[in-house]
């Protein structure tokens, strides 16, 4: 109870400062372009830290440590898949998207695809924006649900009140400051996250080495004592089952290749080529350290509590922090983790709002006011949706995002950047086929056999190549200067 009180006090102060910081950044917003993409003027460090916080948040702090705790070495494949996608995204895609965004003067993810393939601009705006807004709208609702669940689990607050408090934190600075406020609050989250993921494992390794009354005194010993499933890279599976395990983990790779709009927008918003190099270096280093740290925290938790010591594996990070740090320090680290998870909704919310504003409600007049109104309306509707819709429906739709959105749009972005023959008709066809295939594949249960994260990318890629040769279309493309 004492720990809960300290965490609650620290969290209230932390979130209060976060809201104030977001509102302060919002004062710098003057135009619709500034609201939607920070006028493409982000310094590299801000873009990198924001992209990493948006891309990971609860996954790096709760999900992956929990998976490592529950599965042992099998979690390595998921980490390898994610890192293998993130590193080339920063090294080969980020600067190209930045240059393309500047060339076409775009404010949104869909705006780029539509202007790049201008012969099908109308259809690309309609199909891309509708798909992204629909699924990300439910994604925002899922974040509100997740925030309510987390606050309920940590502090005993009712889930309904927890959802409302989550919205109270997110909505003011997101509506007021748009993309700029979201980015700079993400920077704070990213710094707290990386401190947790680097300092936590270092302290944890020394802590378990000097504690004879725990399950194990080192990570290797903990894995060995937990059983053969924990020391196997395939979870003790063999043959085809082992291949499924490996592919399921590594398949996260495909969604990072430019296909997640909330991440690609950070690439597009970088100020210049020099800042793109800085962002690349920070993003890659952050990723490597973070994933090593996330796996290590899960395995340290195994050493501290044993394989059956926690009811919910995804709370291994808070449990480890409370065990190895004084309550006040643990409270700061846990608070940063919870806040990062809750505030993931801000990136999704501003993305959905700007996609709607720029592609459906675009007209002369006060675009900044219109953007703020659309953002506020979407936030209220998403919160209401989280209250009235069954949570399983929302999470089912969210389940399509990484495969359907990530896998499909990764193909479209990659070919738009690297294949001059790829054209608008093929892009429209790829998006439609990719999303329909994802829905069918997951709905029929085939995702349990071969993950949709891989299959959607493969089917979308095949569709794009065939469509490029079969359908008539004006081809083109641009080249950009490499970042060395």
185 part of a folded domain: yes
419 part of a folded domain: no
Mention every residue, 6+ apart, whose C-beta is less than 8 A from residue 150: 162, 338, 341, 342
472 part of a folded domain: no
Q: In the chain, how many domains are there?
A: 1
Evaluate if residue 145 carries a pLDDT over 90. no
What is the C-alpha separation between 109 and 101, in angstroms, rounded?
9
Evaluate if residue 475 carries a pLDDT over 60. no
Q: Are the C-beta atoms of residues 124 and 426 closer than 8 Å to each other?
A: no
Residue 124, CB half-sphere, CA atoms under 13 Å: how many?
24
474 part of a folded domain: no
Q: What is the pLDDT of residues 82-105, one digit of tens each?
A: 999 999 999 999 999 999 999 999
pLDDT at 432: 96
pLDDT at 2: 65
Q: Is the dihedral of CA 466, 469, 470, 476 positive or negative?
A: positive
Evaluate if residue 365 carries a pLDDT over 90. no
Q: At what angle do helices 424-443 and 408-418 cross, to 10 degrees?
A: 160
Evaluate if residue 477 carries a pLDDT over 60. no
pLDDT at 449: 86
pLDDT at 239: 60
- Of residues 218 and 240, the one with the higher pLDDT is 218
* Cβ atoms within 10 Å of 460's Cβ, excluding its own: 30
Average pLDDT, the chain: 88
Closest alpha carbon to 94 in 272, 300, 240: 272
- Of residues 139 and 379, the one with the higher pLDDT is 379
Q: Are the C-beta atoms of residues 83 and 252 closer than 8 Å to each other?
A: no
Q: In 112-152, at which residue ranges do the beta strands (DSSP E only) sit?
A: none
pLDDT at 245: 66
Q: How many residues does the chain have?
A: 484
What is the C-alpha separation between 86 and 68, in angstroms, rounded?
20
What is the C-alpha separation between 305 and 40, in angstroms, rounded?
47
- Check which CATH number belongs to the domain holding 65 and give it: 1.20.1730.10
Evaluate if residue 363 carries a pLDDT over 70. no
156 part of a folded domain: yes
Share in percent of the chain as helix, strand, coil (round to 5) = 80, 0, 20
Across residues 322-345, what is the average pLDDT?
81
pLDDT at 11: 82
480 part of a folded domain: no
Q: Are the C-beta atoms of residues 316 and 201 closer than 8 Å to each other?
A: no
What is the C-alpha separation between 338 and 169, in angstroms, rounded?
12
What is the C-alpha separation between 403 and 110, in angstroms, rounded?
18
380 part of a folded domain: no
Closest alpha carbon to 83 in 62, 47, 55: 55
Across residues 236-264, what is the average pLDDT?
79
390 part of a folded domain: no
Mention every residue, 6+ apart, whose C-beta is less than 8 A from residue 346: 170, 173, 174, 181, 182, 185, 186
- Of residues 149 and 346, the one with the higher pLDDT is 346
What is the C-alpha separation between 207 and 316, in angstroms, rounded?
15
Q: What is the pLDDT of residues 386-425, one digit of tens each?
A: 888 877 776 677 778 888 999 999 999 999 999 999 999 9
What is the C-alpha separation between 174 and 172, in angstroms, rounded?
6
pLDDT at 226: 93
Percent of the chain with pLDDT over 90: 57
Task: Report residue 383 as tokens.
Answer: 């919160």
Instruction: List the domain range (segments joined by +) for residue 43.
Output: 2-363
Among the residue ranges 133-142, 179-188, 284-293, the one predicted with the least confidence is 133-142
Mention every residue, 6+ apart, whose C-beta is less than 8 A from residue 269: 37, 38, 40, 41, 42, 47, 98, 101, 179, 183
pLDDT at 344: 77
Instruction: Determine the Cα angle at 355 with ends 349 and 360, to 5°.
Output: 130
């Amino acid at each position: 109870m004492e720990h809960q009180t300290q965490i609650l006090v620290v969290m209230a102060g932390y979130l209060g400062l976060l809201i104030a910081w977001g509102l302060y950044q919002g004062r710098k917003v003057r135009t619709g372009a500034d609201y939607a993409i920070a006028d493409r003027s982000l310094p590299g460090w801000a873009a990198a830290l924001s992209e990493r916080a948006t891309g990971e948040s609860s996954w790096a702090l709760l999900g992956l440590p929990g998976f490592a705790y529950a599965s042992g070495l099998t979690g390595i494949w998921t980490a390898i898949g994610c890192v293998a996608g993130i590193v080339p995204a920063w090294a080969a895609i980020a600067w190209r998207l930045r240059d393309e965004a500047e060339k076409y003067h775009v404010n949104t993810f869909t705006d780029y695809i539509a202007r790049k393939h201008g012969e099908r601009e109308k259809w690309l705006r309609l199909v891309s924006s509708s798909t992204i807004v629909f699924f990300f709208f439910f994604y925002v609702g899922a974040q509100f649900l997740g925030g309510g669940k987390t606050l309920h689990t940590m502090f005993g607050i009712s889930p309904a009140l927890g959802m409302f408090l989550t919205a109270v934190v997110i909505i003011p600075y997101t509506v007021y400051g748009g993309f700029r406020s979201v980015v700079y609050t993400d920077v704070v989250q990213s710094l707290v996250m990386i401190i947790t993921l680097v300092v936590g494992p270092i302290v944890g390794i020394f802590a378990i080495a000097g504690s004879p009354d725990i399950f194990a005194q080192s990570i290797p010993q903990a894995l060995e004592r937990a059983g053969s499933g924990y020391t196997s890279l395939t979870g003790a599976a063999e043959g085809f089952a082992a291949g499924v395990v490996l592919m399921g983990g590594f398949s996260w790779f495909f969604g990072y290749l430019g296909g997640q709009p909330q991440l690609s927008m950070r690439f597009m918003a970088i100020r210049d080529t020099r800042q793109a190099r800085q962002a690349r270096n920070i993003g890659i280093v952050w990723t490597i350290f973070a994933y090593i740290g996330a796996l290590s925290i899960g395995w340290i938790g195994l050493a501290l509590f044993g394989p059956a010591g926690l009811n919910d594996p995804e709370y291994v990070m808070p449990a480890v922090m409370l065990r190895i740090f004084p309550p006040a320090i643990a409270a700061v680290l846990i608070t940063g983790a919870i806040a990062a998870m809750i505030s993931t909704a801000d990136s999704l919310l501003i993305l959905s709002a700007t996609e709607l504003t720029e592609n459906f409600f675009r007209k002369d007049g006060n675009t900044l006011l219109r953007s703020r109104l659309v953002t506020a309306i979407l936030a209220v509707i998403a919160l209401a949706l989280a209250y009235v819709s069954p949570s399983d429906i929302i999470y089912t739709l969210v389940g399509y995002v990484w495969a359907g959105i990530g896998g499909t749009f990764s193909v479209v972005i990659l070919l738009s950047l690297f294949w001059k023959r790829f054209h608008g008709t093929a892009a429209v066809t790829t998006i439609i086929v990719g999303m329909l295939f994802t829905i069918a594949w997951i709905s029929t249960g085939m995702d349990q056999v071969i993950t949709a994260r891989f299959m959607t990318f493969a089917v979308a890629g095949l569709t794009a190549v065939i469509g490029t040769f079969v359908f008539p279309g004006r081809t083109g493309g641009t080249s950009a200067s490499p970042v060395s």
